[in-house]
């Protein structure tokens, strides 16, 4: 799937399914071990979600998906990206590597997992740090969904 969070073992779309539809399998293609990209893209458009990488060039230092072995060669120009989407009011990261890039780009404090800080970029925005939806992150799916609900309950 040439989109975000395609790995079957990552629970991002299951979390979104639980929060928005009460169904962890809402975005799953029936009878298949994959997510429905068309359904996901429609969902993102409907809810005004934009997803983007915090790095435009990376190097994997080991042959696995762990951010621990990910070297950021070139971070994304996030201020330029945000200038192109003036309606964006919230930045959300789902991993430590992405959080670190936002913190270093804007010189802001790092929010706690499940929390947020206000940043100025130059407009005022909320910056949320959410738990990773990787199965390697030691939190059950339902508890991850509960933390993500806090974000969506605080949307303007």
| Domain span holding position 104 | 50-153
Residue 19 falls inside a structural domain: no
**83-114: pLDDT as tens digits:** 999 999 999 999 899 999 999 999 999 999 99
Residue 44 falls inside a structural domain: no
Residue 11 falls inside a structural domain: no
Residue 30 falls inside a structural domain: no
Would you state the pLDDT for residue 65? 66
Quickly state the pLDDT bin for 34 (edges 50, 70, 90): very high
Residue 16 falls inside a structural domain: no
Q: Into how many domains does the chain fold?
A: 1
Would you state the pLDDT for residue 31? 95
Residue 43 falls inside a structural domain: no
From 13, 2, 1, select the one nearest 94 (Cα to Cα).
13
pLDDT average, residue stretch 55-64 = 86
Strands (E), the chain: 55-60, 70-75, 90-93, 115-120, 124-129
Would you state the pLDDT for residue 71? 87
């Amino acid at each position: 799937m040439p989109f975000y969070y395609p790995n079957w073992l990552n629970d991002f779309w299951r979390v979104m399914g639980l929060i928005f539809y009460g169904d962890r399998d809402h975005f799953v293609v029936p009878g298949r071990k994959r997510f429905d990209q068309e359904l996901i893209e429609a969902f993102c458009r409907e809810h005004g979600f934009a997803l983007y990488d915090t790095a435009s060039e990376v190097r994997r230092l080991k042959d696995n998906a762990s951010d621990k072995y990910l070297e950021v060669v070139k971070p994304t120009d996030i201020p330029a990206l945000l200038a192109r989407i003036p309606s964006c009011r919230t930045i959300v990261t789902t991993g430590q590597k992405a959080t670190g890039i936002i913190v270093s780009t804007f010189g802001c404090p790092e929010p706690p997992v499940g929390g947020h800080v206000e940043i100025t970029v130059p407009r005022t925005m909320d910056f949320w740090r959410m738990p990773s939806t990787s199965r390697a992150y030691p939190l059950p799916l339902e508890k991850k969904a509960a933390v993500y609900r806090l974000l969506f309950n605080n949307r303007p």
